[in-house]
Amino acid sequence: MKKKKSIIIAVSAASLLCLAIAVYSAILPKKTSVDFFSMNTYITVSAEGKDSPAACEEIQKLVNNLDSGVLSRQSEESEISAINSGGGKMSEGMRRYISDMLGIYEASEGAFDFALGSVSDLWGFGNEPHLPADAEIKAALKKSGAGKISINGDEIAANGAVIDFGAAGKGIALDEIKSLLNSMKIKNAVVSVGGSILLYGEKDFTVGIRNPEGNPGSYIMTVSTPAAFVSTSGSYEQNFEENGKIYHHILNPETGYPVQNELVSVTVVSDNGLASDALSTACFVLGAEKGMKFAEKYGCEVIFVDSDKKVTVSDGIKDSVKLTDNSYSFAE
Ligand code: ADP
Ligand code: MG
């Protein structure tokens, strides 16, 4: 009698084990990737988990709709085009984006200025870049700046300034993508929108920071981090040469001309996509010394690379940054 019972237990234990294996293989994560072009840049998605094929599809829809319907100045149907040509009521999303960007504009004392659209247009970046006449820059600058924007509840007026998401839109897209992934069964994901990346999931990630002098695939250091947003702004990203001088696309809001300082790239690590994108631009404008203090105030980590190939890293990620190109070294 006793013997019989133990056989039953053994059998049920074996079937349980089989069941466990079946369940385990059913929940083994799937991995799916997709690349596409949107927001004037290349976007790559790699996701792991049961919902990864759906996530890749949904992310494409989300980014295309956000670009053409909300953020893009090139799209006539976008919310920002309507705001720039007169103002009006903001959607809930737009209200949040503008309020966060105004906060960064004020805290950076105008270094991050998202209403320089008319000045950027004069330089023709993304189109036909060229050196504009000084008088044109001065005239456009007078009408520009986030300080011109007035907000009353959910009503906004740009008052002649042209709002531009060039320096924060990629981060905004990544914030929205993170919310989408939170609603799906996704274990890990890496999404890159131009120079901004979302690292999503429980594991530790390692990302390469691009070589300012090399081709887009080569990097000069790696950063290891748990889930975060990582954005890089660099003067190498969009530039042109005229009369023996190089002009790039990150503008000094005080002059309307490209920022001229010691920096070639700034990388910001943050738990917020908009902040990582906007602060990489703001810290570039501020320079390493002021930029370091500013990033600290925002609880972000930051890496500055200067034209002498010196690398300055904030304390919080010092041990996570490894230089992989021996022509670069840490600043003293
Ligand atoms: P990228 O678009 O190459 O990732 P950034 O995030 O630094 O680089 O954004 C640069 C873009 O932001 C420019 O192309 C321009 O549209 C806009 N811009 C330029 N200067 C500023 C500035 N000081 N503050 C905010 N936006 C800026
Ligand atoms: Mg930026």
DSSP state letters, 87-103: -EEPPHHHHHHHHHHHH
Distance 81 CA to ligand 1 centre (A): 18
User: What does the alpha-carbon distance between residue 91 and residue 172 come to, in Å, rounded to a whole number?
Assistant: 15
What letter represents residue 117's amino acid? G
Q: Is 84 in the pocket of ligand 1 (CB under 6 A)?
A: no
The protein residue with its alpha carbon nearest to ligand 1, atom 15, reads: 166
The strand pair at 88-89 and 31-38 is best described as unpaired
| Residue 214: Cβ within 10 Å count | 12
**First CA to last CA distance, the chain:** 80
Tokens representing 138?
């001065």
Q: DSSP secondary-structure letter at 50?
A: T
User: What does the alpha-carbon distance between residue 22 and residue 187 come to, in Å, rounded to a whole number?
Assistant: 19
Cβ distance 145 to 161 under 8 Å?
Answer: yes
Residue 16, Cβ density class (10 Å: 0-12 exposed, 13-18 middle, ≥19 buried): exposed
pLDDT one digit per residue (tens) for the chain, 332 residues? 344 444 444 444 444 443 444 344 444 557 999 999 999 999 999 999 999 999 999 999 999 999 999 999 999 999 999 999 988 899 999 999 999 999 999 999 999 999 999 999 999 988 889 999 999 999 999 999 999 999 999 999 999 999 999 999 999 999 999 999 999 999 999 999 999 999 999 999 999 999 998 887 899 999 999 999 999 999 988 889 998 999 999 999 999 999 999 999 999 999 999 999 999 999 999 999 999 999 999 999 999 999 999 999 999 999 999 999 999 999 97
User: What does the alpha-carbon distance between residue 280 and residue 235 come to, in Å, rounded to a whole number?
Assistant: 12
User: What does the alpha-carbon distance between residue 151 and residue 125 come to, in Å, rounded to a whole number?
Assistant: 29
Collapsed DSSP state (helix, strand, coil) of residue 77 = coil
Collapsed DSSP state (helix, strand, coil) of residue 161 = coil
Top mutation candidate among 251, 252, 279, 305 for ligand 1, by most atoms within 8 Å of CB: 251
User: What does the alpha-carbon distance between residue 54 and residue 260 come to, in Å, rounded to a whole number?
Assistant: 45
CA distances from 290 to 8, 102, 264, 282, 287 (A): 73, 19, 16, 10, 6
Residue 197, Cβ density class (10 Å: 0-12 exposed, 13-18 middle, ≥19 buried): buried
User: What does the alpha-carbon distance between residue 149 and residue 82 come to, in Å, rounded to a whole number?
Assistant: 14
Which residue ranges form the domains of the chain, and what is each CATH number? Answer: 43-70+79-330 (3.10.520.10)
Q: Is 79 in the pocket of ligand 1 (CB under 6 A)?
A: no
User: What does the alpha-carbon distance between residue 71 and residue 66 come to, in Å, rounded to a whole number?
Assistant: 6
Cβ distance 29 to 48 under 8 Å?
Answer: yes
Q: Is 266 in the pocket of ligand 1 (CB under 6 A)?
A: no
Tokens representing 82?
């309507």
Q: What is the per-residue pLDDT for 215?
A: 82
